[in-house]
Each structure stands twice: as C-alpha cells, then as structure tokens.
Structure 1
Amino acid sequence: MKKKSLLTILIFIIIIVVVFIIVNKNKPINHSSSFQKIISVDPNYNQQGLAINKDSAYVGYDIGDDTGKIIEYDLKSRKIIKESKALTIGHTADIGYYNNRLYVANGGGKNKAKIYVVDFEKDTVEKTIDVVKYGNAALLAI
C-alpha cells in the first residue's frame, strides 16, 4: 500500500511540473528586478572584466590594438576613483583582485592566453604569465 501511495504522489508531482512547464513555456524569464544598478560603465569603450575589492569595482575595457584600460569605481559614491592609462593587456577578458594587484586575463581567438599582473597604483604591468599551455582562452578566478 505504501508503494502505491508514493507512486501516486510522484505521478501527481510530475503532472504538476509538466503542466507548469507547458503553461509557462512562452513566458520570458525576467530576473532584472532582482538586481540593482551600482555603477554606470563608460559607454565609449568595450566593457569586459570586473573585479570587486571592498568598496571598489575595477572594470576592464578593451580599447583596441591589444590594449586595455582599467577604471576603478567607488561603490558607495558610484564615481570614478582612478582611470589607468592604456595598458598592453589585451582585451581584459577578466580581472581578479588579490594582494593589492589586479590579475588581468586575456586570450581567445588570435590572442594567446596570458595573465597580466598589474600594479594599478603605478599604472604598470609588473609581470606577464603565459598560460597558453592550458589552452588559448584565458579566464580567471581568484
């Protein structure tokens, strides 16, 4: 008797899920109401990577010719704190912040996979790490 009851409940749940899917199949999913805009990125550049550290957001931009720039935004005031010069860091596919340095990943397409260690305060690339042996696309997680 217990097996029959469990089977009946399981079938009922499956029917509810199937009906829900059929009824909602053409409705777009909109989660944008769950997010709040915290900064406005520069529309003049091609925004790429993003890193957060305490009250700052670092946004990487592809500015062409294998160069990128990084802009630091204050998350409280929502204003620009600092903007780097053009750096030879590729298209800044992703950025990570660790130990007072920015780690900028680049790669994919014609670009070899590299990670650039950037001293943002000094506007310099301290080190280039070649990671092409792991593949041609470089993404970053720190």
Structure 2
Amino acid sequence: MTIDEIRDNFALLDEWDDRYRYVIELGRTLDPMTEDEHSAANKVQGCASQVWLSRDIDRRNGEPVLNFKGDSDAHIVRGLIAILLALQSGKTAREVLSADPIAVFDELGFREHLTPQRSNGLRAMVERIKNDARETLAETT
C-alpha cells in the first residue's frame, strides 16, 4: 500500500475509532518477520511495546535502496509500522534521510491521537530507520 492510498483512505474515515481500526488492518498487511529477524539487534529501543525493524539493502542499481520489515506485539504499533514502511521502505538512503515521516503522521492527525508513550516509540522507530540509512551511506562512501 502506498502512502497516497493510506492518505486517501484516512480522508474517507471521519471517526478516530474507524481510523484506529484501519491502522490495525494495515498492521495485518506487514510481511512476516522470521524468528531470526526478531533479534536483539533488530529490536527498537525506546518503545513501550516490543518493536523490531530489519533492513535489507539492494545494491544492484547504483545508489543502495533500503527495504525494511517490521513487527510489534501491539496491533496499533504494527499499523504505525506499516505506515512508516510505506513512507520509507524502497527508498535510497538519501531519500530516507531527507524525508520527514513525523510530519506525515502529524498531517494524518496522529499527534493528537497517540499517547505520549506511543509518540516517543514512533520517534524511536523513525530514528532507527534514519540511523540505518546513515550507516548504509557510510558503508558506501
């Protein structure tokens, strides 16, 4: 699912209860992570829920492209991961670093509808993805 499709679907839903249900549905669309990917190295620190993000780097066509997988033990958080991956996965490291996913989450109205703990977790996930992009750039220069 693309971020534009997610934006369009959000615009159709007036009630936050419906939007939360949609976010949970998005979480169910995540590609499953293997047991090995649920490792300490992939665990995101700073999240109240358990969250894992793994990175795969496609180096076939010049600048490396980052592909991410994610998982959480919380349904809403899985949905937030799905939105974050729609924004960041499949992009070059430079594109990941220049993007502002928090602004998109704010645009969708999450700033007012996430607990402070979940907002901190979301920022931790964004920072983890940006760190992965920085590492990827450092490895290629």
TM-score of the superposed pair, with normalisation by structure 2: 0.29
Structure 1 or 2: more helix by fraction:
2
TM-score of the superposed pair, with normalisation by structure 1: 0.29
